[in-house]
Amino acid sequence: MTVRQVLLRKGGAVYAISPQATVLEALERMAQHDIGALLVMEGEELVGIFSERDYARKLVLLGRFSKDTRVEEVMTREVVTIRPEADLAEAMRLMTEHRVRHLPVVEEGKVVGVISIGDAVKAIITEQEMLIEELSRYISENR
pLDDT for residue 61: 80
pLDDT for residue 64: 84
pLDDT for residue 110: 94
Question: Distance (Å, rounded) from C-alpha 18 to C-alpha 47?
Answer: 9
pLDDT for residue 138: 79
Question: Distance (Å, rounded) from C-alpha 66 to C-alpha 88?
Answer: 35
Question: Distance (Å, rounded) from C-alpha 138 to C-alpha 54?
Answer: 48
Q: Return the CATH number of the domain spanning residue range 3-141.
A: 3.10.580.10
Sequence spans of domains, the chain? 3-141
pLDDT for residue 143: 74
User: Coil, helix or strand for 117?
Assistant: helix
Question: Distance (Å, rounded) from C-alpha 8 to C-alpha 80?
Answer: 21
pLDDT for residue 131: 82
pLDDT mean for each 10 residues of the chain (143 residues): 92 93 96 96 96 88 88 95 96 95 95 94 86 83 79
Q: Are the CB atoms for 80 and 98 separated by under 8 Å? A: yes
pLDDT for residue 85: 97
First vs last Cα of the chain: how many Å apart? 30
Question: Distance (Å, rounded) from C-alpha 86 to C-alpha 63?
Answer: 40
